[in-house]
Structure 1
Amino acid sequence: MSLMISGFYASLTVLLAIGLSIRVIKQRRVNKVGIGTGGNADLALAKRVHENLLENAPLALILFMLAEFNGLPAAISHCFGTVWIVARLLHAIGLTAAKGGVHFGRVWGVLLTWVVMVGLAIVNIGFFIGL
Structure 2
Amino acid sequence: MDPFAALHMAAQAAALWSALLLLLMLVLSLLVVRQRQTHKVEFGDGEVPSLARAIRAFGNAAEYVPAGIGGLIALTVVGAPPMALHIAGAMLLLGRTIHAVALSRSHAASALRAAGMLLTWLAYIFQIVALVIFALI
What's 1:12 paired with?
A: 20
The structure, 1 or 2, with the larger RCO (C-alpha pairs under 8 Å, 6+ apart) is: 2
Q: Which of the residues 70, 86, 89 maps onto 1:62?
A: 70
* Structure 2 residue identity aligned to 1:26: R
Distance, in Å, in 1 between the alignment partners of 2:124 and 2:136 is 18
What's 1:31 paired with?
A: 39
1:115 and 2:122 correspond: yes
What's the TM-score, normalizing by structure 1?
0.92
Identity of matched residues, %: 26
What's the TM-score, normalizing by structure 2?
0.88
RMSD between aligned residues: 1.2
- Greater CA drift, 105-114 or 76-85: 76-85
- Length, aligned pairs only: 129
Any gaps of 5 or more consecutive residues in structure 1? none
1:100 and 2:107 correspond: yes
Instruction: Report SS of the residue matched to 2:92.
Output: helix
Distance, in Å, in 1 between the alignment partners of 2:134 and 2:86 is 18
Deviation >6 Å, runs of 4+? none
* Structure 2 residue identity aligned to 1:111: L
